[in-house]
Structure formats: C-alpha cells, structure tokens
Structure 1
Amino acid sequence: MRVTIERSRVFGTLEAPPSKSMAHRLLICAGLAEGRSVIDRVDPSQDVLATARALEALGARVRLEEGRAVVDGCGGRLTAPDGPVDCGESGSTLRFFIPLLASCGRPVRLLGHGRLMQRPQDVYARLFERQGLPFSQTQQELTLCGPLRPGEYRVEGGVSSQFISGLLLALPLLDGDSVLQVTPPFESQSYVALTLRAMADFGVSVRREGNTFFIPGNQRYRPRNGAVEGDASQAAFPAVLGAVKGGITVTGLREDSCQGDRVIFDILRRCGAGMTAVPGGWRFEKQPLRAVDIDLADCPDLGPILMVLGLFCEGETVIRNAGRLRVKESDRIAAMQQEVEKLGGRIEAEGGTVRVRGASLHGAPDLAGHNDHRVVMALTVAALAADVPVCIQEAEAVRKSWPDFFSRMQQLGAEVKTDGTT
C-alpha cells in the first residue's frame, strides 16, 4: 500500500492505542489459566493475532470481538500442536512461546515471515543444548522438542528481554522450583516488569532479588477480567509530533505504568518541549527543542521516532546502545538513514551509537517503509512535523502494531491518502 501525506495543519487530542506489549502478556496469562477471562481494549494487530493463534495451538480458545478478547484457558495443560505454529512477524510471540511449546514434550515447528527467522535465538539454542534437547533454526522455521526441566537457568541480560519473559511465563508450570539468573548488563528491565505484573494479576508469584528470579513450580494461572493499558511506545509518535508542532494532546496512558517507553516524555522534557500534564497524558505547545544524549538500552522501540526527534532539535542528538535496532523487522538504523537522506536529513551511525543533527527537510515522492511499522510511522511524523509532502511505500506495515494509525493521524488533521490494498 502506498500512502501520500500532503502538507497539513495538525492539532487536537489523540488517545494512545492499547499496549501491544501488555496485550501479548495478558492474553498468554489468560490462555494458560483454567477458566474464562475477558480482556478489554485489545487491538487486533497482526502481532496480537499471532499470539492468539499460538494460544489456540496450545489448547486455549481465543475469541476477538469489538476490541475485546474472550479467552477460555487451557488450565496449564499444554497440548502439542497438530501442525506448525505460525508466529507471523511477531518476535514477542516467537520468543514467548518457545519455552511454553517445549513444555508439550513433543516435536514442534514454528514458522515466521519477513525477517522473523533471521532474528537470533542463540539464548534458547544454548539453553536447549545444555538440557540435551533438540533445537534448530533455518531461514524459514524453527524446530524444538522438550520438555524443559525445572532447575537453574542463566540468561544474558544484554540481549532481548523477550527470552527472560518467555522463561518467566513457562517455568511456574513445571513440576519443580526454578531459579533464573540474569547476567549484567540487564537491559530492557521494564519489559520484564510488565511480564511480572501480568503474571501477578493472574495469580502467579515470582520473587526477585536483584537480577535473580526465584520461581516456585506447580503454580496455576487463575482467570480474571481486565483491560490493556495505553501504549507508551505508540504514544511516542503523536507526542514527538506535538512537541515539534504544538497544539496536540496525548491521553490514555497509565500513570503508574511499568512501560519503559514512558521515558519518551522525560526525553521530550529534557529537549525543552512545552508540556503540561493532563489526566492520563500530556498537552504539548510549540517550543524550541534542543539536542540531548539518549540511552536506548531500556527503550529500543523508540529508536526510529527518536531519530526523527533529533532532526528537529538544535545541535546533535546522540542515541546510545542502539545496536539491537539492526535485528528488528528491518535494520532500523540503515532504513532510517536511507529514508531520512531522501528528506534532506542525515543520520550517522558507528557501532551502537547514532548521531542526528537538526535539519531542514523537504518532500520526497519515493520513501520506502522497509516492511517495518515503526519506520513507516516515524517517517509519517517526520513529514507532518516538517510540513512537507511525501509518499511512503509498504505503508501497510503499520497493521503489525497500530492498524488504524493513518486514520488516527487524520483525526489530528493530517491529509492522508492511500493507494492500494492492505
């Protein structure tokens, strides 16, 4: 799908969409519980649908209806899937379900699309090898066979926290206690906190002491009703637009959220953004922005939109610990470098450090989305913030996490036209 964005006057209020990160976790906990749970504010993005499919493969039943998920859980009695489990392009689905699927004790195949099977799974590969269990990965699929055994686990903290969350979700179901030790540096800890909060909501206890997690076995997830909180990582897109243009209010966020991406508001404040707190969010007024130094270790999903923010700040924005952006849906550093250059900006990268200087942008008729939802949304914000016309190919990638992103931008006054099917 090609999207054309014309020069627009944007203003108004936008409610953050439901958190994809929390939706994954709440659905999985509900799917493992014995009984029915109802989860409100579930956005049927492609990633969330992938998790729903994986739960049904394990024996749960998931019905999505009008922003709500009705989940009849399997009670922790995991059945081996009849066929391969299609994880779509969802890294969370793949990494969360590997330990759960291993609990079935039979060979399992997992499929992925796009770059999913190119994303490293070395943490699990070594873990399975230590337990003498089969685990192999190709460019098309991943195969494994359990069962995992309770006991002591050690995971590197400098890689994706999804490995840690996957083990935390599965280990309480094993017939024995386990200890999970995370070796420093422990990055993306906020995502692990989201996992622990969801598990606690469903009655599963984990005791944490520093980087060590003590996990009693033979636990059972209990059904409950709840709602998905607003997504701070998605709220970052209209928030940056508001900081640059002014006149935009972002709401729908939980004030005590564990989401690490809430740091976007601290970053904007350090940049000098005109911000006023409102219930569940912030109102933005236009103010000159200055460059700051940013550590991406605990908020990697903010990478693309922070590069856009740097284009509108006076001075040089430095984004550190950005190396993991290379192995997302796209190489997000290279993708943003290529597309921002078409707009007249420049992004420099060396190792895990990205540098962006403020620039005067111009329109571009041939931006590529790189099949990456966050790249597409970041380029959209760049065009609207600079008030320049652009065309973006592969814009359907937004369906991965925020299916109605463009209609929500239209609610703010953006002149957006689509050409082609999704």
Structure 2
Amino acid sequence: MRAEIRPGGPIRGTLAAPPSKSMAHRALLCAALAGGTSRVDNLAHSQDIDATLAAAAAFGAQVELGAGWAHVTGPAVLACPAAPVDCCESGSTLRFLIPLAALSGRAVTFTGRGRLMQRPQSVYRELFARRGLRFEQDGGTLTVAGPLAAGEYELAGDVSSQFVSGLLFALPLLDGDSTLRLRPPVESRSYIEMTRAAQALFGVESRWLDAATLLVPGRQRYLPRDITVEGDWSQAAFPAVLGALAGDVTVTGLAADTLQGDAVIGRILDRCGAQRGAEGFRFAKSPLHGVEIDLADCPDLGPVLMAMGLLCRGRTVIRNAGRLRLKESDRIAAMEQELRKLGGCIRSEGGTVWIEGGPLHPPAVPLSGHNDHRVVMSLTVLAAAARLPVCIEGAEAVDKSWPDFFAAVRQLGVEVELYA
C-alpha cells in the first residue's frame, strides 16, 4: 500500500489513544494461563495482538472475540500445539511463549514472518544450553522442549526485557521457587514492571530482592479476572509530536499513573520547549529545540524522535538506541536513509544518533516504510508537520500495531490518500 501525504489545512483536534499493545499482550497471556474465563476490554485487533490470541488458542485456550473485547478461557493444563505456532512478526508473542512452551518435555515449534526469526534469541539459547534443554533454530523455525525447572536464572539486563518477561510468565507455575538475576545495567525496567503488574492482577506475585534480582515463588496459579486495557503511550507519541510541531492536538484515554516507559514522551516534549495545554495530554505548536534523549527505557520512541529532531532548532542527540537496530527493521539505518531523502542531516554511530535541525525539501523519490510500522508513522508525522508532499511505500506496515493510524491522523487534519 502507498500513502500520499499532502500539505493541508490546520492540524488540530482530539484523538483517543489506541489500547496499549504491550499491556494487551500481557493481559491476554495471563488470561490464557488462568483456569477460568477472563474478559479483556478495550482491545484493538492489530496483527501483533491477533498473533498472541492465535497462539493462546494453540496452547489450549478458548477465545471468543467481540467488538473491542475478548473472552479468554484458560485450560487446566497447557496443551501441546498440534502444529507450529505462527507468531507472525510479534517479538513479544514469541519471546513470551518460549519459556511456557518449555514447561513440559514435549517439543513445540514456532514460526514467524519478516525479520522475526532473525531477531536475537541468544539469551534463551544460552539459558537452555546451560540446563541441557532443546533449543534449535533452523531457518524460519524455532523448536524448544523442556522440562524447565525451578532454580536460579541469570541473564543480561541490557538486551531485551521480553526475555525477562517470558521467564516471569513461566517460573511461577513450577514446583519450586526461582531467582532471576539480571546482569546490570537493567534497561527497559518499565516493561518488566508492566509484566509484574499484569501478573499481580491475575493473582501471581514476584518481588525484587535488590535492584537486579527477582524472587519468583513457585506453585502459584493464575486466576481469571476481568481487565480493561489502558491507552498506549507509545502510540500517543505520534499525535503528541505532531501537535507540538504543527498544531493543537489532545490525546485522551491515557493513564497518568501508568507503568509504560513511553509515557516519558510528555517530559521529553516539555524539555524541547513544547507548549502543553492544561487539560489532558495536549500539545500546541511552538518552537522546539534539540535536547539529549536517553532511550534505554523507551526504545519505541526512537523513530518519531529522530523525525522530530529535524524540525527542532539545534542538535538532538539520542543515546542508548542500539536495540533499534534489532526491531522489525534496523530502525536507525531506516530512518537515516529516509530522512536524508528529505534533506535531513542525521548520522549515527552504534547506539547514538545525532540529528541537526534545518530546512527540508520534498523527496525526489518515494520514501520506504521498511516493513516497519513505527518508521511509517514517524515519516507521516514529519511530512504532515513539515507540510511536505511525500509518498510512503509499504504503508500497510501500520497494521502491525495501529491499523486505524491513517484514519486517526485524518481526524486531526492530515491530508492522506491510500492506494493499493
């Protein structure tokens, strides 16, 4: 699909944040592990969430879907999937399920699409090897088998919190207590806390013994619960940045007391000189200046902040962004390539990115979405804010997390046409 963004009228309006994809993954998985029926409300059916729902069904959960809700009935004992479990392009789905698949000695095979099976799994591979468990990758498939045992687990704290969360989901179901030791620095701690908070809602507890050690009691059971998924701060960043650069935009449905690390977008915009409204999460057009930004706990904000940096006065420096190279695309390389087509001054070295604000021009060739939803949405925000006519190829990538993204920004005055 091709998206054509054209200079239009004023950017203004109010937009409801879509449901948090991160919390929805966690709530649905906890519901699938509970012995009984749970209702999950405020649910959006993106490709990633649908992958988790299908995987839950493969492990024996019964899933009933409605408009914005799901009833999930967990089995008494997790089933062994009869066929390979397709995680599509969802890293959360795959990494959350691997330890659960290893609870028994039966082999479970996972498949994926896009770059999913190329994304690093070395943390699990090393853990499984140390315990003599099966972990085999063969092209586009990954096969694991347990049985996983209670005990002490040590893993790097600066790779991906998804590995920590995956173990947190599985370890409480074992017969003994376990300890998770994270080698500092511990990054994306907010995502670990989101997992623990979701588990607590379903009756499963863990506790920090110190800043890098989690005690996970065994012999626990997930209990059925009804839960409403909060709004997504990761997605709210796109209309918020658009408002701060070019208009007057309010985003509703966001929890002020959230554990989502991407809620830091409000403070980042404040530091850049954004004009914040008194009511809700509102930003209006104002001259922004570059700042230094640490992405250690909010990597998903990287692409939109790179785009924003081109319209800020002075230099924006983004640090601890190395994990962006291991997402649906190499997001640093992808954004460098596309922003330079607009005349943007951007360079990187490892996990550090430097962006210089300055004049931009319409691109001579279409921009590429790099099969990455956050790249597509970031380029859309930049084109609308800079009032540049831009064509983005591969715009269907937004279906991964926010299928209604283009309809949403149209509500704010962005002129966009979509072509198959």
TM-score higher than 0.5 here? yes
TM bin, normalised by shorter chain, reads over 0.9
Alignment check: 8 A CA contact 1:308 1:382 kept: yes
**Matching residue of 1:45:** 46
SS at match of 1:317: strand
Query: Pairwise CA RMSD of aligned residues?
Result: 0.9
**Matching residue of 2:275:** 274
The code of the aligned residue for 1:415 comes to: E
**Matching residue of 1:21:** 22
Alignment check: 8 A CA contact 1:367 1:392 kept: yes
Cα distance between partner residues in 2 of 1:277 and 1:229: 21
Q: Structure 1, residues 315-346: CA drift from partner, whole Å, max 9, x if none? A: 11000011111110001011101111111112
- Tell whether 2:393 aligns with 1:399: no
Q: Structure 1, residues 180-222: CA drift from partner, whole Å, max 9, x if none? A: 1111000000000100000000000111122111111111000
Shift of 1:153: 0.5
The code of the aligned residue for 1:45 comes to: S
Cα distance between partner residues in 1 of 2:141 and 2:299: 25
Cα distance between partner residues in 2 of 1:264 and 1:99: 32
Shift of 1:88: 0.2
Shift of 1:388: 0.9
**Matching residue of 1:105:** 105
**Matching residue of 1:258:** 259
Alignment check: 8 A CA contact 2:104 2:148 kept: no
**1:4-403 to 2 correspondences below 5 Å:** 4-9=4-9, 10-75=11-76, 77-209=77-209, 210-278=211-279, 281-364=280-363, 365-403=365-403
TM-score, normalization: structure 2? 0.98
SS at match of 1:11: strand
Cα distance between partner residues in 2 of 1:104 and 1:417: 50
How many residues align? The count is: 417
Alignment check: 8 A CA contact 1:78 1:104 kept: no
Shift of 1:379: 0.2
The code of the aligned residue for 1:147 comes to: P
Cα distance between partner residues in 2 of 1:107 and 1:176: 23
Q: Structure 1, residues 29-82: CA drift from partner, whole Å, max 9, x if none? A: 00000111111111000000110111111111122210101111124x111110
Alignment check: 8 A CA contact 1:90 1:116 kept: yes
Alignment check: 8 A CA contact 2:177 2:217 kept: yes
SS at match of 1:247: strand
Alignment check: 8 A CA contact 2:234 2:300 kept: yes
Which shifted more, 134-143 or 157-166? 134-143
Q: Structure 1, residues 292-316: CA drift from partner, whole Å, max 9, x if none? A: 0000110010110010111111111
The code of the aligned residue for 1:213 comes to: L
Alignment check: 8 A CA contact 1:12 1:412 kept: yes
Alignment check: 8 A CA contact 2:96 2:167 kept: yes
TM-score, normalization: structure 1? 0.97
The code of the aligned residue for 2:386 comes to: A
SS at match of 2:366: strand
Cα distance between partner residues in 2 of 1:361 and 1:35: 56
Q: Structure 1, residues 372-417: CA drift from partner, whole Å, max 9, x if none? A: 0000000000000001111111100000000100000111111111
Shift of 1:250: 1.4
Alignment check: 8 A CA contact 2:190 2:259 kept: yes
Cα distance between partner residues in 2 of 1:178 and 1:296: 30
**Matching residue of 1:419:** 419
Alignment check: 8 A CA contact 2:101 2:108 kept: yes
The code of the aligned residue for 1:242 comes to: G
Alignment check: 8 A CA contact 1:117 1:138 kept: no
Which shifted more, 244-253 or 24-33? 244-253
Q: 1:243 to 1:134 in 2, by over 3 A?
A: same
Gaps of 5+ in 2: none
SS at match of 1:29: helix
SS at match of 1:205: coil
Shift of 1:27: 0.2
Alignment check: 8 A CA contact 1:56 1:62 kept: yes
Q: Structure 1, residues 218-241: CA drift from partner, whole Å, max 9, x if none? A: 110001111110000000000100
Q: 1:340 to 1:151 in 2, by over 3 A?
A: same
The code of the aligned residue for 2:115 comes to: R
Cα distance between partner residues in 2 of 1:8 and 1:54: 42
Cα distance between partner residues in 2 of 1:360 and 1:31: 51
Cα distance between partner residues in 1 of 2:149 and 2:269: 45
Shift of 1:277: 3.8
Cα distance between partner residues in 1 of 2:292 and 2:103: 43
Shift of 1:246: 2.7
Cα distance between partner residues in 2 of 1:346 and 1:15: 33
